[in-house]
Amino acid sequence: MTRILAALAPLTLFATPIAAQDDSLPEAEIYATQLVVIETAMGDITVEIEIERAPVTAGNFLRYVDEDRFDGTTFYRAMHLDWGESPNGLLQGGTQMHPDRVLDPIAHEPTTQTGLSHTDGALSMARYDPGSATGDFSIMIKDQTGLDATPASSDPSLQAGFAVFGHVVDGMDVVHAIHALPPDPDKGEGWMKGQLLADPVEIIDMRRVDAPTGTD
């Protein structure tokens, strides 16, 4: 599938004559992407994976999809921020380092390299140190651009940021509904305490789908 980053404005009765239009504007860039449906126990989420702009991270995610490594996992973490308009934060799911599901870590693709950003609905790899991401990912709820790479930072982790590799194109209502579920106050340790869902939501199936072709 391809994604067009700009749309044509609708024609009006007062449109500028063709001869007077500015033809110096650059053409909208088109990037190759792949649609994936995340079927959960609370509904479907459709995501667009950036196979051209984030090939390493996207390729890793799609390998998990193709090998059914996400099927039967869960969305298990809902982080809520203490500031800004609610809902905000992120929703996290994936393999949780299960030995029968997890693959080797992948190289880190910073947002300064891919041109992507942690905007509302973006998919980003969970990790410890840069280069340790495997089979867990997060969906942003509201813009979380502080997770982008910050080369000027003195903190190596902040310098690298987190790796964005796609975004939600349908089903953000499902993301919000899962994110709103109650946490278990006794689950988790350290900064994760209070962020783990009391009843994680099953990811029943993930699968590639073709882009809609339109109707006649």
pLDDT of residue 214: 62
Identify whether the C-beta of residue 149 lies closer than 8 Å to the C-beta of residue 112: yes
Residue 91: φ, ψ to 5°? -120, 130
Identify whether the C-beta of residue 86 lies closer than 8 Å to the C-beta of residue 132: no
Structure confidence by residue, pLDDT tens digits, 55-105: 999 999 999 999 999 999 999 999 999 888 889 999 999 999 999 999 999
Identify whether the C-beta of residue 84 lies closer than 8 Å to the C-beta of residue 102: no
The percent of residues in the chain predicted with pLDDT above 90, rounded, is 76
The model scores a pTM over 0.75: yes
Question: Torsion-angle region of residue 56: left (phi > 0), alpha (psi -120 to 50) or beta?
Answer: alpha
pLDDT of residue 189: 83
pLDDT of residue 83: 86
Structure confidence by residue, pLDDT tens digits, 100-132: 999 999 999 999 999 999 999 999 999 999 999
In the predicted model, what is the mean pLDDT of the chain? 88
